[in-house]
């Protein structure tokens, strides 16, 4: 499922939401433009759901039956989600076979493909302002020597 939040990179074509109807229209445009097949839900205009789950632009959560968080990532990466699902399926299968398994807390570093061409194309869909604002933010990050959300691994290329 997809939960539609505020516009991360508002621009002339898809500006910041000023009404819920506008947000709903953007969510429907998102389905059309990217042929999204998953159900799309729309958060309220104040971002109530988005805030409660961490306020980042492209998070993924896996929530187990009953509502416990089983996996979360600050960016969406299909390979990371697949790995988490495969692990979960394996653990459940072993438990069904009678193996005694104890749940524990774990973290890992994700590695998502930085598809610059696709990202730039997305900004252009939003509009020239989105392109310009991102360029300015990038300049500030470069000046500050740190890109938000980057995890140091010692093997950056």
CB of 101 to other proteins, least distance (A): 15
Q: Cβ 16 to other proteins, closest distance in Å?
A: 4
Alpha carbon of residue 11 to chain centroid = 19
* Of 94 and 137, CB closest to other proteins: 137
Tell me the CB-side half-sphere exposure of residue 146, using CA atoms within 13 A.
5
Nearer to other proteins, 28 or 83 (CB): 28
Cβ closest to other proteins, residue 94 vs residue 138: 138
Instruction: Give the orientation angle of helix 116-126 with respect to helix 128-144, to 10 degrees.
Output: 130
Question: Residues 6 or more apart from 8 whose CB is under 8 A from it?
Answer: 57, 58
Q: Which is nearer to other proteins, 83 or 125 (CB)?
A: 125
Beta carbon of residue 2, minimum distance to other proteins (angstroms, whole number): 5
DSSP secondary structure, 20-62, as one string: HHHHHHHHHHHHHHHT--S-EEE--TT-HHHHHTT--TB-EEE
Query: Which sign does the torsion angle of CA 125, 151, 56, 77 carry?
Result: positive
Closer CB to other proteins, residue 27 or residue 99? 27
In the complex, minimum distance from the CB of residue 98 to other proteins, in angstroms, rounded to a whole number:
22
């Amino acid at each position: 499922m997809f939960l539609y939040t505020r516009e991360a990179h508002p621009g002339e074509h898809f500006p910041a939401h000023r009404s819920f109807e506008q947000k709903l229209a953007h969510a429907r445009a998102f389905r059309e433009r990217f042929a999204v097949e998953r159900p799309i839900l729309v958060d309220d205009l104040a971002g109530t759901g988005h805030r409660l789950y961490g306020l980042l632009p492209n998070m993924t959560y896996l929530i187990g039956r009953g509502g416990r968080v089983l996996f979360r990532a600050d960016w969406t990466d299909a390979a990371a989600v697949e790995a988490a699902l495969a692990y979960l399926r394996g653990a459940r299968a072993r438990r069904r076979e009678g193996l005694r398994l104890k749940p524990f807390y774990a973290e890992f570093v994700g590695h998502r493909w930085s598809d610059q061409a696709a990202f730039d194309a997305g900004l252009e869909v939003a509009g020239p302002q989105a392109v310009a604002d991102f360029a300015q933010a990038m300049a500030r990050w470069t000046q500050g020597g740190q890109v938000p959300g980057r995890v140091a691994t010692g093997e950056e290329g």
